[in-house]
A = this chain, B = another copy of it.
Amino acid sequence: MTTTHTTSYSPPYAIPHSQQPAASTPENLIEHYQNVRRTTEQLCQPLATEDYVVQSMPDASPAKWHLAHTSWFFETFILVPYVPGYAVFNPAYDYLLNSYYVTIGVGKPYDRPRRGLLTRPTVAEVYEYRRYVNDRMLAWMDRLDEASWRSMQPLIELGLHHEQQHQELILTDIKHAFSINPLQPVYAPSSAERASSQGLDFRKPAPLQPLSWKRFDGGLYWIGHDGHGFAYDNESPNHRVFVEPFELASRLVTNGEYLQFIEDGGYRQPRFWLSDGWTAVQEHKWQGPLYAFKQGNQWWLHTLTAVRPALMDEPVCHISYYEADAYARWAHARLSTEAEWEIAARTVLTLCHTILGHFVEEKNLHPISANDASQSDELLQLFGDAWEWTQSPYSPYPGFAPATGALGEYNGKFMCNQFVLRGGSCATPASHIRATYRNFFAPAARWQFTGIRLARSI
């Protein structure tokens, strides 16, 4: 790893206003509702009926479950409590489609690892359910007076952000299902045309930006949601943290860099690993990232668009927290804390005022090498491409209070045994991400688009 130059940032004691638009109008939100709901279905267009059914591992869910569950969310948290006379589509769905809310409805939800054993409802029935819910949501939103609108808007926005989370999961879950199939199906078959039109054909067109270190001063910073625009409850309250001076790498770690770690015996030497990580390496026989496999001397990747050679300049992804942490130790660095990451993100946003990154809308569906200057030329890939593991366990912010009612289960009850990830990925909708966004997964999870940005203390 080469450090070419260093740039220094000072703490932005003045917090920039949220980059998101101010409270949207009813018309905007209704349109946004239609867009988000339509997008979910468009993401499923490449699937055969059979593809909607399976659950290729306990953490994943069938695509038809995602389609149905996101509708159940609107039905359960809006239509049933707030729309007089609403008739539920099918009373049995409450049991089948509840993900983990134990303080409502029929109690213990249908057993999660068994979602893929259900052939019914059929895909056609699920789409009918979506139409049924959409019709009633739209009719109801249309009729809302202004006062009701103000009180209901956060709930509608929550439902849409919830659905966007599941959009990403639809992609990562089908990627896993395809990856275990010896017939090597892909989500969106790559054509020579599409590849060449993008200048792709597995050679990178422009040189990878060299890795440099961006310096941030220590001090007392504010992090967390400041109340402007939508945020999940776990991003609040806005609060102060004291941070020592630190540096962040200018871009994500690449396949080529990660390969050096592998070839240096990274997966064979326990000294790089957390104890639980080393146990995971041995138990799962990890020898490289998920979806990466070696044929002869060549590393290949299962991607959503092709089974193809790994590009050395692409960001490494589909690695666990344990692997990210071990790589960082090998590289004489560490992962950032979530506070450090958010300080950096706020700094970038203060400078460029808008979130730039490679998101799902580009339909690349894989991280792209940091080879152009379209983002900041200083701190690349902070948003999009790959979720960045931080070294911060997922814990409540000081003074955190979960939402009331069953929706309080959305985030708070998972604040244990997970690590925070930041920044979104190539499978995240652009309108879903923000600087304060706290994603979280168990440290052994690998099926999300998860990558590494290095940090170091000074």
List residues of chain A with CB under 8 Å of any chain B CB. 48-56, 64, 90, 92, 95-96, 100, 102-103, 110, 114, 116-123, 177-178, 180-183, 185, 220, 239-244, 270-271, 273-278, 321-322, 337, 391-393, 395-396, 398-399, 413-417, 443, 457
Bound-complex Cα distance A403 to B278 (A): 19
Q: Jot down 22 A-B pairs with beta carbons below 8 A, ordered by A.
A: A48-B122, A49-B123, A50-B123, A54-B116, A54-B117, A54-B118, A92-B183, A102-B270, A103-B270, A117-B180, A118-B183, A119-B178, A120-B181, A120-B183, A220-B220, A241-B242, A242-B242, A244-B398, A275-B414, A276-B417, A337-B398, A393-B395
Question: Can you add 20 more A-B contacts, CB < 8 Å, to A119-B178, A417-B443?
Answer: A50-B119, A50-B123, A54-B119, A56-B117, A96-B182, A103-B270, A120-B183, A121-B183, A220-B220, A220-B242, A239-B244, A273-B413, A274-B414, A274-B415, A274-B416, A275-B416, A391-B395, A392-B395, A393-B393, A416-B443
In the complex, which residue of chain B has the Cβ closest to the Cβ of A337?
B398
Bound-complex Cα distance A268 to B8 (A): 53
Residues in chain B near residue A90, CB distance under 8 A: 183
Residues in chain B near residue A64, CB distance under 8 A: 50
B398 touches A457 (CB 8 A): yes
Given contacts A181-B120, A414-B274, contact A244 B399 (CB under 8 A): yes
Residues in chain B near residue A239, CB distance under 8 A: 244
Residues in chain B near residue A393, CB distance under 8 A: 393, 395
In the complex, which residue of chain B has the Cβ closest to the Cβ of A273?
B413
Residues in chain B near residue A443, CB distance under 8 A: 416-417
B242 touches A120 (CB 8 A): no
Bound-complex Cα distance A56 to B183 (A): 22
Q: In the complex, how many angstroms separate the beta carbon of A349 from the nearest chain B beta carbon? A: 23
Q: In the complex, how many angstroms separate the beta carbon of A391 from the nearest chain B beta carbon? A: 7
In the complex, which residue of chain B has the Cβ closest to the Cβ of A53?
B53
In the complex, which residue of chain B has the Cβ closest to the Cβ of A414?
B275
Residues in chain B near residue A96, CB distance under 8 A: 182-183
Bound-complex Cα distance A110 to B92 (A): 35
B181 touches A119 (CB 8 A): yes
Residues in chain B near residue A49, CB distance under 8 A: 49-50, 122-123
Bound-complex Cα distance A223 to B308 (A): 51
B271 touches A103 (CB 8 A): yes
The one of B53, B321, B396 in contact with A119, judged by C-beta atoms closer than 8 angstroms, is B53
A275 touches B399 (CB 8 A): no
Bound-complex Cα distance A414 to B393 (A): 13
Residues in chain B near residue A110, CB distance under 8 A: 182
A177 touches B103 (CB 8 A): no
In the complex, which residue of chain B has the Cβ closest to the Cβ of A241?
B242
Residues in chain B near residue A321, CB distance under 8 A: 416
Residues in chain B near residue A121, CB distance under 8 A: 183
